[in-house]
Structure 1
Amino acid sequence: MLLILLILAGTGAVGGLKLFPLLQNRIASYLDLPPLEKGLPALTISLATLTSGAYFLHVTQKTQPPVYGPWLLLSVGLCCLSLFLFHLRNQLETREAGAGVVVPLPLFRALVLLCVLLFLLTHLDASDFAALATFLEIVRSVVVTAICLTGCWLVWSIKLPDTLIRYRKAMRLGMTAIAAALLIIELSGYANFSSFLLIGLLGTVMMAYLLRFALFFIDEVIGGLFTGKYPWQQRLRRKLGLPSQNNLMGITWIRVTVKLLAWAATFMLFLQLWGLSDKQLTKIRTGLIDGFGIGELIVSPARILLGVFIFACGWTLVSWMKMQLERRWLENASFSLSAKETLVTMTGYCGIAVAVIFGLSVAGFSFSNLAVIAGALSVGIGFGMQNIVNNFVSGLIILFERPVKRGDWISIGNTEGYVQKISVRSTLIQTFDRSDVIVPNSELISNQVTNMTLHDNFGRLIVPMGVAYGSDTELVRTILLEIAAGIKEVVNDGSAPKPQVLFLAFGDSALNFELRCHLRNIDRRLNVKSEINYEIDRAFRKHNISMPFPQRDLYIKEFPRGMNTPGAGEPARGNNIHRAG
């Protein structure tokens, strides 16, 4: 049976490698993970071949499942070893010298084969054949010795990068000490103890690698969905309607819970590997699943982990629904933009609340204690959380009453700009110089807020100016009205008051006028004002209408000694200098 299983294992591994060129393109198109590129075909074919062989033995030899069950487990172990070997071979052959840890590949292959042989010899039952048992015991001792020597040789031959060179001496001495201790135990006649230690050490190394591989797989598959690292993940994100710049935050918590599950499974396998009894394992497993008591409180790590996983899934689903509501489902709805935003925000709040309730329920939280929790929250609100609750309630009022909404041009205190986002606690305002100002929601409710675009984007623009005394005021009025009529952003169709020119006052040095007009989009107020000023300057120059400036007369009674009297040169513009006689 052993020979048959070895033949089947070899056939499966070779078949997996032969089929690799045919499966490479299809596998790579769906899962672009380097550790799986060569190991997955060999793993699949080996497992299928060995399982079929075990079933064939069961049918033909009329054996019971307990007889070939350990061999079936052995086949799974060989498949894992093939995955381990193929992955490391790929890494070791492609790694450049000096770029990382360089391991001699022939020594590594020999060590893996010796470990597989030791595993087979340890689990081979030859108690019915005394001569064979003695021979296998000698072979096992030779294999143990070879493993120790090969392991030492391998560690002493490893080339470490500059960042790890300081650990080389410790690694060599540690491996030499472990190998020497195992050899002394083996030669002292404690064969079972040496085999136990050696299998435990090798199994620990194998589990550490498998854990690392599992964590890498989780990061690449689940974490890759967060950013769309691989083509198949990008296709999935496109099918789900997820833009490249938007990420589902709940995926991070899903990844964390799956990683914790991988750590827990590795911990249980580690305890079983080092000989913990089935009774103790059952007790630990029961404590993890059913929970353990801390006073009157029952804590179940498995239920807590499942509750966090359900909350993470709910959070991810709610985030996806919010994006679909905003980008697809409400795109053609007859709601205003602010109503859509309110619906999306409240959907998110309600969805998160439902996810929290489901997560707490699965985690074993008793809702009969809500009165106690409410009392604790009331005390917390009274002492230090009143501002947080005030801002949260104010945020809800803003969402329902909608005095401000995203995109509005508002002014509060010394802050003026556009509303970018209204969240639970605060509102984000972007000023005209592209600075982001975070304003607590309670200030928007309790303070005076000027909203330039609450109901529409119409707004009034005032352009002041002055002309010199003696100018034709009617001509000035006509020119200003013509300029206002020629600006397309100015309302001239009667939907708002028409432009008008006001003669306000006789100033100190000018006749003061104002052009008042309404704009279709008050956001372009500065641009329109600049354009009107350009047109006013051009028209006044054309009609010889001067725009005066303040003029100052300076009278000097006496110049200081040694200073010449100003000559006939023209004084600075806007200033008249006179010497008193």
Structure 2
Amino acid sequence: MDTLQEIPGLIKGWLNIPLFKIGADPVTLWTIVSLVVLFVLLLWLTKKLKNLIVLKLLANSRIDIGVRQATGSIVRYIIIAIGFVVILQTVGIDLSTVTVLAGALGIGVGFGLQSITNNLVSGLILLFERPIKIGDRIEVGEVTGDVVDISVRATTVITNDNIAIIIPNAEFIGSTVTNWSYTTRDVRFNFPVRVSYREDPEAVRKLLLEVAGSHPGVLQERKSDVLFQEFGESCFQFILRVWTRDYTDRPGVLRSELNYAISRKFREHGIEIPYPQRDIHIKDGQLTVAAPPPSHAP
């Protein structure tokens, strides 16, 4: 019975054994356990708070999801920074000593963690300046897809093949980024069309506009048009320009569906789609071919 009563005292004694010192303050096992538990609790609570801001407080506003996510992330990181300082004070760690330690770690960061630091700073720039936001259709390098998450270190992009690509945030600051939906998801695509010189350009223009007007993915409130680009080597060259909102992330699908519709429309009206050809003219006359001089063997 006495042994059972002594167990709590033994555990307390083990937890209070000094492991090392930060300045004049001893750090015990209890200090480390408290620091870890409180910090994990801080991360969990701030994540819940972010979801509350994004999905509840700002859900009924006219602010788009990207702005709501950025606002929630910024609030979360500010609270984490303040909460971490409060936790250090709560467990009894002198902040002046931590400041000296942070300075020493800063030197290590400058030499060994430049890439990570660059990504962290770039992530904060993305959250504040918002050149991209969640839901945007972007193209960076050889990657094209929709932004689904922006964290401090990296951004997640989902391609049309449903592949998640994790891109370091520094890529968005140091590289050229094409944002297809920066202001709106309405995008205009240009599709080249070639027809034979035998056809009437005005009739071709009318048929192409009919095809664009009958496609459900082409915006009717934004006028489609046809440009007579040039007289090609063996054909008239037109450009069909259409606006779309539903096919912003699938331009290849829209191109394919319009090409099918154009092919059907041209067949119905006997419009000829040309193929590259060359005309060779042979003139009568004599061609003199000079024989090469004989070679002299050494």
TM-score class, shorter-chain normalisation, is: 0.7 to 0.9
Residue number in structure 1 paired with 2:18: 292
Alignment check: 8 A CA contact 1:310 1:355 kept: no
TM (norm. structure 1) is: 0.44
Q: 1:513 aligns with which of 238, 251, 256?
A: 238
Residue number in structure 2 paired with 1:541: 267
Unaligned ranges ≥5, structure 1: 1-72, 74-122, 124-199, 204-264, 273-280, 555-581
Residue number in structure 2 paired with 1:165: none
- Higher relative CO (Cα under 8 Å, sequence separation at least 6) belongs to 2
Give 1:294 deviation, angstroms.
4.4
Residue number in structure 1 paired with 2:69: 341
Amino acid at match of 2:231: F
TM (norm. structure 2) is: 0.82
1:464 matches 2:214: no
Unaligned ranges ≥5, structure 2: 281-298
* Aligned pairs (5 A) from 1:124-139: none
- Aligned-residue RMSD, C-alpha: 2.8
1:394 matches 2:122: yes
Higher strand share: 2
* Aligned pairs (5 A) from 1:75-90: none
* Aligned pairs (5 A) from 1:307-326: 307-326=35-54
Q: Secondary structure at the match of 2:43?
A: helix
* Aligned pairs (5 A) from 1:193-232: none
1:531 matches 2:257: yes
Residue number in structure 2 paired with 1:449: 177
Distance 1:299 1:453, change over 3 A: same
Give 1:399 deviation, angstroms.
0.6
**What are the Cα deviations for residues 252-286 of structure 1, in whole angstroms up to 9, with x where unaligned?**
xxxxxxxxxxxxx9xx63xx9xxxxxxxx67x845
The CA distance in 1 between the partners of 2:257 and 2:19, in whole Å, is 77
The CA distance in 2 between the partners of 1:292 and 1:350, in whole Å, is 32
Distance 1:490 1:357, change over 3 A: same
Higher helix share: 1
Residue number in structure 1 paired with 2:109: 381
Amino acid at match of 1:428: T
The CA distance in 2 between the partners of 1:294 and 1:433, in whole Å, is 52
Q: Secondary structure at the match of 1:523?
A: coil
* Aligned pairs (5 A) from 1:149-160: none
Residue number in structure 1 paired with 2:95: 367
Amino acid at match of 2:244: L
**What are the Cα deviations for residues 231-267 of structure 1, in whole angstroms up to 9, with x where unaligned?**
xxxxxxxxxxxxxxxxxxxxxxxxxxxxxxxxxx9xx
Q: 1:503 aligns with which of 201, 225, 228?
A: 228
Distance 1:504 1:293, change over 3 A: closer
The CA distance in 2 between the partners of 1:472 and 1:461, in whole Å, is 24
Distance 1:292 1:478, change over 3 A: closer
Q: 1:428 aligns with which of 156, 178, 194?
A: 156
Q: Secondary structure at the match of 2:139?
A: strand
The CA distance in 2 between the partners of 1:389 and 1:300, in whole Å, is 30
Which structure's CA Rg is the greater one?
A: 1
Give 1:544 deviation, angstroms.
0.8
Alignment check: 8 A CA contact 1:500 1:516 kept: yes
**What are the Cα deviations for residues 341-377 of structure 1, in whole angstroms up to 9, with x where unaligned?**
0111122212332442233223221101243123213
The CA distance in 2 between the partners of 1:458 and 1:293, in whole Å, is 62
Q: 2:134 aligns with which of 391, 397, 406?
A: 406
Alignment check: 8 A CA contact 2:116 2:153 kept: yes
Give 1:394 deviation, angstroms.
0.8
Q: Secondary structure at the match of 2:113?
A: helix
Distance 1:551 1:363, change over 3 A: same
Residue number in structure 1 paired with 2:296: none
Q: Secondary structure at the match of 1:454?
A: coil
Distance 1:288 1:306, change over 3 A: same
Alignment check: 8 A CA contact 2:160 2:249 kept: no
Q: Secondary structure at the match of 1:399?
A: helix
The total of aligned residue pairs comes to 277
Q: Secondary structure at the match of 2:243?
A: strand
Amino acid at match of 1:341: Q
Distance 1:523 1:294, change over 3 A: closer
Give 1:524 deviation, angstroms.
4.4
Alignment check: 8 A CA contact 2:19 2:29 kept: no
**What are the Cα deviations for residues 528-579 of structure 1, in whole angstroms up to 9, with x where unaligned?**
322221221111111111112234799xxxxxxxxxxxxxxxxxxxxxxxxx
